[in-house]
Amino acid sequence: MVSGNFEKYLTDNLGAFAKDVVRLASQRSVSARNEGVEECAALVERMLKETGATTRVLKLDGAAPLVYGELKSKKGGKTVLFYNHYDVQPEEPLELWKSPPFAPEIRDGAIYGRGVSDDKGELVSRLKVVESFLKADGDLPCNVKFCFEGEEEIGSMHLGDYVAHYSDLFKADAVMWEYGTVDTKGTPMVTLGVKGMIYVEFTARSLSQDAHSSLAAVLPSAPWRMVKLLGALKDEKERILVPGWYDGITSLAEDELAVLDEMPFDGEEYKKSYGAERFLGGMDDDLAKKALIQRPTCNIAGLWAGYTGPGSKTVLPKEAHAKMDFRLVPDQDPEDLWKKLRKYLDDNGFADIEMKLESMEPAARTSYKHPFAQAAIKAAEKTYGRKPIVELGSAGTGPLYLFTRRYNMPSVDIGVSATDGGIHAPNENLKLENLRKGMLWIAETLEIFSAS
C-alpha cells in the first residue's frame, strides 16, 4: 500500500506534473515525418535524469534513438520495466483543433495537445510515480527500468534490433506497457495482451503502361486481377481460406470465458458509434466481444488503381494495389502464415501477384492469474473503489512480444488515459483527475507486486 506521504506529495504536485506533460508535448516528435524526433529523445533523457535515473541514449543506424534508464531500490527485489514511446501521430486536420496541437493548453481540468495522452502523458506519469516514491518515501518499492522508443507510431520497426543488440538491458520480472485507460464511466481497464499482425501490400501488374479503356476488350485488367485475388482470401462466412491459417489456435479456457463474460460490452452503442447496422456476419454481442479478443482478421486497409479524381478518365490501369492487415491471435506464427499465404496464391493461379511485407509480429498475452496481473487488478480496485474491467487482450497490435517472449515476462497495460481522450485525433486530451488516479494505480501495482 502506498504511504500517506506518497499520496500527499503526488496530490500536492499534480499541477507541476501536468506542466511536465505540457513541456514534453510541446516538443514535436512526429515519427511519420521524422520531425523533432532527435530533439524529443534528448528532452526525454533530460527528464529521466531529473528523476535521478542512470540514463543511456541508444542509437542504431537508421533508427530513432531509444532512451534507456534505470533506478535501483535499496531493498533490491523485483524489477519492473516501463515501456513507452515519445513519438506521436501527425496533427492533421489542423482546422479541427481548438488550440494549437504543439502548444498544449490546460483548460477545464484537462491538458489538450498532440501526444498528451498517447503517449507522452503516460511516459511522464511513470517518471513522476518514481519521483513521488523517492521524494516522499526515500526509496522505490522495486527496481525500475525505462525503455522509451521513438518509432511506435510507425510500427516500431527497429525495436527488435535494439532488444537483440542490448538484450541484457531489458531483463526484468515484469513489463508495464505503454498505455492504460478508464472507460467513460470511470472504470479502470486492465489489458493483458495484444493481437499480432502481418501487414502486406499486394501489387497486380498487367501492362507496361496505362492504356485507353476501349482496349479492355482485348487487354488484361490489373484492377480486376486484384479484385479476384481479394475475393479468394475469404469465404461468404468471413473465414480465411488459406490452408492452415487456423491451425494450432487454442480456445479460451472456461475460466477465461468467465472473465470475458464479466467484461461489459454494449453492442448497440458500439455499432452506433461507427454507424454500423450490424456486426460482421450478424454475430451477437457475446460473439462480437469474443471476436475482438480471439478472432483472426483479414482486412483490406487500402485499395487503389487508375484514376480516382473528379470527373471521368477512360483508362485501363497498368497496375493495382491493396494494403491488407491480418490480425493474429496467440499460437499463430506470422512467419509460417506468411509462407502459407504465398503458397496459397501460387497454388491458386496468383503467382504473378507481388507481395511486399510491411511488418510482422506475433500476438502476446499474459494470464489474468499471474501475480503481476493480479497486482494491477487489486490496485485498481483499491484506487478506484470498484472492480476493474479485465481485458484478456486488445484487438490492436504492438511489439509487446519482444519482451514477453524473449524474457518470458508478464505484462499489464494500465495508466492514466481515458477511452474518450481523443488519441490520434484533434483535441487529444488528458484529464488531470485521471492523471492523479492513474499514477496512484501504477504506484499501488508496484507495491503489491513487489510484496508478492
List pLDDT tens digits, range 411-420. 999 999 999 9
What confidence score (pLDDT) does residue 155 get?
A: 86
List pLDDT tens digits, range 295-322. 999 999 999 999 999 999 999 999 999 9
Mean pLDDT score of the chain, rounded to an integer?
A: 97
- For the segment 216-229, the average pLDDT, to the nearest whole number, is 98
List pLDDT tens digits, range 57-106. 999 999 999 999 999 999 999 999 999 999 999 999 999 999 999 999 99
* Alpha-carbon gap, residue 327 to 298, rounded angstroms: 7
% of the chain exceeding 90 in pLDDT: 97
Q: What is the CATH number of domain 196-249+296-361?
A: 3.30.70.360
List pLDDT tens digits, range 332-354. 999 999 999 999 999 999 999 99
What confidence score (pLDDT) does residue 74 get?
A: 96
* Alpha-carbon gap, residue 385 to 184, rounded angstroms: 16
pLDDT-based confidence at residue 273 (cuts at 50, 70, 90): confident
Written as nine digits, the cell of 350 is: 496468383
Q: Residue 180: is its pLDDT beyond 90?
A: yes
* Alpha-carbon gap, residue 413 to 110, rounded angstroms: 22
392: number of Cβ within 10 Å: 23
Q: Residue 53: is its pLDDT beyond 90?
A: yes
What confidence score (pLDDT) does residue 85 get?
A: 98
Domain boundaries for CATH 3.40.630.10 within the chain? 4-194+363-451
* Alpha-carbon gap, residue 335 to 420, rounded angstroms: 35
Q: Residue 186: is its pLDDT beyond 90?
A: yes
Whether the model clears a pTM of 0.85, i.e. scores above it, the answer is yes
- Output b/e per residue, 165-192; b: 16+ Cβ within 10 A: eeeebbebbbbbbbbbbbeeeebbbbbb
Rg (CA), the chain: 24
CATH class assigned to 4-194+363-451 = alpha beta
Q: Which residue type occupies 36? A: G
| Helices and strands: H and E segment counts in the chain | 13, 21
Domain boundaries for CATH 3.30.70.360 within the chain? 196-249+296-361
